[in-house]
Structures are given as structure tokens and as C-alpha cells.
Amino acid sequence: MQSIDEQLNALKSGMVDQIHVTKEEFLAFREVLVKREDFKHFSGNAMQGGDIIYTYLTHPRS
């Protein structure tokens, strides 16, 4: 299994279109995500049940 950083890098590079994060994985995932310099390029959409789908934006969110 890939590390969180490896998953985020794959999303950033376009190797994957999205990352599915379960609500159980969310806190560990977010801890790594917010420390990244490109944090504002990642967009998370909450799904019913608490899971999150992350995508990468070419322009950072404000």
C-alpha cells in the first residue's frame, strides 16, 4: 500500500484522478496533507457516510 505522500504525489502528477479517503483514515490523511506546501491545490468533497474524495486543482483555492 502506498504512503499518504505517495498517494498525494500520484494525484498531483495526474497518475490518478482522485483519492478516496474513508472517515477512519481521514485524520491521519489530513495531518500529512496540511503540512504540504501545495495544500491549497487539493480539494476534498465529503460524501454521504463520511468518506472524502480528493482531487487536485491546477490553481490553488483561496
User: pLDDT band for position 1 (50/70/90)?
Assistant: confident
**Residue 8 CA: distances (Å) to CA of 15, 19, 40, 46:** 10, 8, 12, 17
User: For 4-62, what is each residue's pLDDT tens digit?
Assistant: 999 999 999 999 999 999 999 999 999 999 999 999 999 999 999 999 999 999 999 88
Q: What is the DSSP string of 8-62?
A: HHHHHHTSSS-EEE-TTTHHHHHHHHTTSTTGGGEEEEE-TTS-EEEEE-SS---
